[in-house]
């Protein structure tokens, strides 16, 4: 368990490229255990690239700097190894998995993490009961579990599925890559409730968003503005309100 006040995530001078093109140009960010930080910025500023590099997604190549998660250097770890350590990424565009029911996917996901910790598989019947309780708490219809993963799902349903996964895995570090994109107010509340239910001294989150409205529901400890592949300004929750009023151009110009 991470100690209160210990840094859950430390990013130092991180650079990365995609298809040979530099995207991140020296990102430095520290998130202590128990804190939620928001990253905002215009399109093309590197926000999603940062989330993919943190999760270890293929094709997003670090070229400098370091990422330390709970004291462990994760840059050399595979994505599944990072997940087993408690890192969770909620995608902006979740993928479809035809032929695999959501319930089967969720149970396989949980069992994989339990196996990595040297624990036995979950009892299938007990797991179904537990998942139904979680779906109910999140306002998700239990019929959702019988459908193939994300196939034919609306945008809101896909994001609810991401939150359901997060609620079952109970990660130590959650990275939300514009999970609020395209959501109506009801789906936005499900996403927010899922994150807020995990808040505590041993949970941290990096919330990437364009919109201050999400931060009305998930109130961050700190807000960071990203531009041209680096963080150009940091502040408290009021920074998001200031951004809403002024827009990116003025805030970025002030930080230059």
Angstrom distance (rounded) from CA 192 to CA 29: 23
pTM: 0.90
235 is a domain residue:
yes
Question: How many other C-beta atoms can be found within 10 angstroms of the C-beta atom of residue 132?
Answer: 14
80 is a domain residue:
yes
144 is a domain residue:
no
Q: What is the chain's Cα-based Rg?
A: 18
52 is a domain residue:
yes
Angstrom distance (rounded) from CA 176 to CA 178: 6
Angstrom distance (rounded) from CA 193 to CA 137: 9
Total domains in the chain come to: 1
45 is a domain residue:
yes
Question: CA distances (Å), 106 to each of 145, 172, 238, in order?
Answer: 9, 18, 37
Alpha helices in 56-123 (DSSP H): 79-84, 102-116
pLDDT mean by block of 10 residues, the chain; 256 residues: 69 97 97 96 92 95 96 93 93 88 93 88 88 86 88 85 90 90 80 90 93 89 95 94 84 74
The whole domain housing 180 covers: 7-95+171-255
CATH number for the domain spanning 21: value is: 3.40.50.300
16 is a domain residue:
yes
139 is a domain residue:
no
Angstrom distance (rounded) from CA 145 to CA 10: 36
Q: What pLDDT is stored for residue 234 in this prediction?
A: 95
Vertex 171 angle, CA 62 and 115, to 5°: 95
Question: CA distances (Å), 137 to each of 39, 44, 122, in order?
Answer: 28, 36, 20
Tokens in use for 89? 């990424």
Q: Which residues of 6-30 are buried (b: 16+ CB within 10 A; e: fewer)?
A: ebbbbbeebbbbbeeeebbbebebe
């Amino acid at each position: 368990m991470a100690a209160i006040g210990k840094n859950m995530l430390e990013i130092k001078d991180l650079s990365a490229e995609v298809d040979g093109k530099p995207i991140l140009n020296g990102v430095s960010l520290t998130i202590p255990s128990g804190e939620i930080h928001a990253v905002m910025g215009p399109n093309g500023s590197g926000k999603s690239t940062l989330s993919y590099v943190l999760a270890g997604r293929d094709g997003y190549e670090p070229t400098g700097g370091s990422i330390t998660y709970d004291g462990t250097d994760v840059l050399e770890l595979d994505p599944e190894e990072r997940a087993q350590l408690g890192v969770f990424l909620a995608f902006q565009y979740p993928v479809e998995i035809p032929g695999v029911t959501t319930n089967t996917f969720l149970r396989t996901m949980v069992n994989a993490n339990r196996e990595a910790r040297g624990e036995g598989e979950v009892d299938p019947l007990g797991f179904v009961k537990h998942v139904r309780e979680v779906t109910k708490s999140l306002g998700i219809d239990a019929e959702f579990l019988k459908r193939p993963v994300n196939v034919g799902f609306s945008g809101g349903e896909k994001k609810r599925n991401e939150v359901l996964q997060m609620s079952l895995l109970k990660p130590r570090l959650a990275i939300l890559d514009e999970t609020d994109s395209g959501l109506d107010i009801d789906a936005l509340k499900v996403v927010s409730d899922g994150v807020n239910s995990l808040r505590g001294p041993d949970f941290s989150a990096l919330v990437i968003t364009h919109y201050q409205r999400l931060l009305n529901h998930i109130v961050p400890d700190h807000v960071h503005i990203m531009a041209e592949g680096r963080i150009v300004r940091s502040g408290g929750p009021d920074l998001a309100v200031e951004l809403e009023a002024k827009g990116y151009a003025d805030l970025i110009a002030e930080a230059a």
